[in-house]
A = this chain, B = another copy of it.
Amino acid sequence: MSKPFEGVYAALTTPFAGDEIATDKLRGNIEKYNQTNLSGYLVLGSTGESVSLTDGESLRLVEAVVAAARPGKKILVGTARESTKLTIAFTNRAAEFGMAAALVRPPCYFKTRMTREALRAHYLALAEAAKVPILVYNIPQNTGVPLDTQLVIELAAHPNIIGLKESSGSMGFLGDVRPYVPRSFHYFLGSGHILYPGLEMGADGAILAVANAAPELCAEIFRLFQAGNKDDARRLQLDLVPLNKMLVEVYGIAGLKHALDLRGYYGGPARLPLLPIEDKAKRDIAALLKILGY
């Protein structure tokens, strides 16, 4: 029995031309992604450099993606702000553009105050006030605020909290959450490293940076898995692992954007403080893409 949001999503990069956002380039990428089996798109995720954008830029990006996405592709939007009030406000402003669900990382500046109680209060207030369903987002490598599995299980009981994106890449987190949340709760993997093994152990899909550069590969792993063809899913996963490592872990967003340029999408520059990658990185990326047959 399929679930409404299942499948693989691209955590979209944000194209810049010079120092301005380039919504035309974004639309161009989306038109290509529309031809794939991706289930949809995440706008304003970590990979989208959302923290580096103004609210105005952010909303224009949401508008552009909603307009460009083929019907049936689901739109997720990262809407976190540091205060509960601002998170609710921005979520509901963005909701007017027609997203399917909001993905919300925890507030993270006041790290030592982000107790389970504070995080629970934040997410529940948001879930009550938001006009769209909420996906909780665990990405401690960026936030420095790890969500604990018990909190996720508690939050999953709220009818407007419909899922989780888990980007620490831990199989343990999956094992500690999946049996204790409703079957309808969506568990999205946030790390390409464990796409196939995570699906095998109960994840419903994934929201992946690497899917910008390799949407067919990611979507095909999901399709093969669903078809019960575990051996082929496993084989493709062995290609995805080094690609994910190089583009997401080693070289980061600037590296991923370079791979997009090489693969015929628009990558372009990252916004400072993210530095451009160096020539060695470009050679590494080109070499790996060639090895993988791109």
Chain B residues, Cβ within 8 Å of A201 = 196-197, 234, 237-238
- Taking a contact as CB atoms closer than 8 A, the residue among B86, B234, B272 that contacts A125 in the complex is B272
**Interface window among A23-31, A113-121, A214-222, A259-267:** A113-121
Chain B residues, Cβ within 8 Å of A49 = 83
Instruction: Please classify the interface of chain A as helix (H, G, I), strand (E, B), loop, or mixed, using the class held by over half of its residues.
Output: helix
| Complex alpha-carbon distance, A285 and B54, angstroms | 40
Q: How many copies does the complex hold?
A: 4
Does A122 lie within 8 Å of B273, measured CB to CB?
yes
Chain B residues, Cβ within 8 Å of A115 = 275
Known pairs A170-B169, A242-B179; A274 contacts B118 (CB<8 A): yes
| Most interface-central of A85, A106, A107 (chain B CB within 10 A) | A85
Known pairs A52-B86, A112-B141, A142-B111; A176 contacts B272 (CB<8 A): no
Kindly identify, within residues 96 to 132 of chain A, every residue whose CB is under 8 Å from any CB belonging to chain B: 106-107, 109-115, 117-119, 121-122, 125
A interface size (C-beta, 8 A): 62
Does B242 lie within 8 Å of A111, measured CB to CB?
no
Does A172 lie within 8 Å of B193, measured CB to CB?
yes
Does A85 lie within 8 Å of B172, measured CB to CB?
no
Chain B residues, Cβ within 8 Å of A117 = 275
Chain B residues, Cβ within 8 Å of A141 = 111-112
A46 within 8 A of B: yes
**Distance (Å) between the CB of A199 and the closest chain B CB?**
10
Chain B residues, Cβ within 8 Å of A73 = none
| Complex alpha-carbon distance, A288 and B241, angstroms | 35
Kindly identify, within residues 191 to 240 of chain A, every residue whose CB is under 8 Å from any CB belonging to chain B: 191, 193-194, 196-198, 200-202, 230, 234, 237-238
A148 within 8 A of B: no
Chain B residues, Cβ within 8 Å of A169 = 170-172
Chain B residues, Cβ within 8 Å of A274 = 110, 113, 118
Report the nearest B residue to A112, measured CB to CB: B141
| Complex alpha-carbon distance, A109 and B107, angstroms | 11
User: 14 A-B contacts, Cβ less than 8 Å apart?
Assistant: A46-B109, A53-B83, A84-B272, A109-B142, A110-B253, A111-B142, A115-B275, A117-B275, A122-B272, A144-B144, A171-B193, A179-B242, A197-B198, A200-B234
Binding site for B on A (CB under 8 A): 19, 46, 49, 51-54, 82-86, 106-107, 109-115, 117-119, 121-122, 125, 141-144, 169-172, 175-176, 179, 191, 193-194, 196-198, 200-202, 230, 234, 237-238, 241-242, 245, 249, 252-253, 271-275
